[in-house]
Amino acid sequence: MLRFVGRRVLLLAFTLAVASVLIFAITNVLPGDVARIILGPFAPQDAVTRLNAELGADRPVVVRYAEWLAGVAQGDWGRSYAFSTAVFPLVLERLGRSLLLAGSGLAVLVPLAIASGVAAARREGGLFDRVLSTVSLAVGALPEFVTGVFLILVFGIWLAVLPIQALPPDGAGPLTVAAHLVLPVGCLVLLLFAYLFRMTRASMIEALAADYTRTATLKGLPPRTVVWRHVLRNALLPTVTVIGAQIGWLVGGLVVVETLFKYPGIGSLIHFAATNKDIPLLVGCSLAITFVFALGNLAADVLYAVLNPRVRHGRNAH
């Protein structure tokens, strides 16, 4: 298992190295004249030349990348043009908020979707299965701004039982923080439930029809033991992979949800950076999201190996 984790960590390091090259190239090389993009097409050329010199954009690309990478490794991610402050603490603060929102959403979504998928698969074709499959598919097809507006109208305005704004006031207690997160978390759950539920359901149906399930049943094991010890362990493998892939999206792709509920996370920050041509901030946000996405996939790989020992044994599995 340690060798397997070591290989995955090396792969993670290689992935981050490649991602750093791509991010630097897209934000510092491909746009062409960076100073012209920042100052606009009508800025005088001498101002553009001075800004390029200040940014170091007139130096060789390899030198700029090496200096930038050394700064990133030391925690110096540059300064934001728009906020006139260091990028790293700003990104770290926003990333923490997005991780809180994404983690809360996963804490509700994963057990709910898995339990529902297991229950529906055990009653395949029944009323519960048909109703839940239809409703989840219909709700999952709606974009997040539709479900978000619906939740705001019903629970925030008509019933007035939950706060609309996701960010709690300073010094708020855990219960107040949880109350402010209910609506955005509910929006995330409604958005992703159908996909995770149907994945679990399909894997469970396939596992319930497998030979090892029939063997365990013929041995006289109770149905609950067959499901939880034999079926679910194998059925969760595709679901684990999907959850790992969703972590990166949950952290960086929440622009609509964060905007709807006025939540200052990293998704809205990267949108702000792109809109205001704040290149250091855009690079910092991209790096942070890439790192979280890579860690999420690493966690999914490790959990997959725990559930399926053949993966971590590699060639010996054959």
Question: Are 109 and 48 in a shared domain?
Answer: no
CATH code of the domain covering residue 128: 1.10.3720.10
Predicted local distance difference test score (pLDDT) of residue 317: 41
Given 73, 98, 122, the domain boundary residue is 73
Over residues 16-74, the pLDDT tens digits come to 888 888 888 877 665 556 677 677 777 787 887 887 777 676 677 788 888 888 888 88
- Residues 49, 136, single domain; the answer is no
Cα dihedral 157, 162, 167, 168, rounded to 10, equals 130
- Residue where a domain stops, chosen among 39, 73, 107: 73
221 DSSP assignment:
-
Predicted TM-score of the model (pTM): 0.81
pLDDT by residue (tens digit) across 72-99? 888 888 888 888 899 999 999 999 999 9
Question: Which residue type, as a one-letter code, is found at position 131?
Answer: V
Contacts of 166 (CB under 8 A, 6+ apart): 101, 180, 181, 183, 184, 258, 261, 262, 263
Residue 239 pLDDT greater than 90, yes or no: no
Mean pLDDT, rounded, for 227-254: 77
Q: How many CB atoms lie within 10 A of CB 209?
A: 11
Domain boundary among 40, 73, 106: 73
pLDDT at position 69: 87
Looking up tokens 């200096």, which residue turns up? Answer: 67
CB 4 within 8 A of CB 304: no
Inside any domain, residue 79: no
Q: Is residue 98 part of a domain?
A: yes
Integer Cα distance of 175 and 181 in angstroms: 10
Comparing C-alpha atoms, which of 217, 222, 196 is closest to residue 207? Answer: 217
83 domain residue, yes or no? no
* Residue 220 and residue 292 in one domain: yes
Q: Give me the DSSP letters along 14-56.
A: HHHHHHHHHHHHHHHTTTS-HHHHHH-TTS-HHHHHHHHHHHT
The range of the structural domain enclosing residue 31 comes to 2-73
User: Does residue 80 contact residue 89 with C-beta atoms inside 8 Å?
Assistant: no
Domain membership flag for residue 82 = no
Residues 6+ apart with CB under 8 A from 261: 148, 152, 164, 165, 166, 183, 184, 187
Asked if the structure places residue 80 within a domain, the reply is: no
Q: How many domains does the chain have?
A: 2
Same structural domain, 59 and 104:
no
Q: Identify the sign of the CA torsion 26, 31, 35, 41.
A: negative
Amino acid 250: pLDDT:
79
- Is the residue at 85 inside a domain? no
pLDDT at 209: 83
Same domain, yes or no: 16 and 96? no
- The answer as to whether 27 is a domain residue is yes
Where residue 180 falls among pLDDT bands split at 50, 70, 90?
Answer: very high
The answer on 155 and 68 residing in a single domain is no
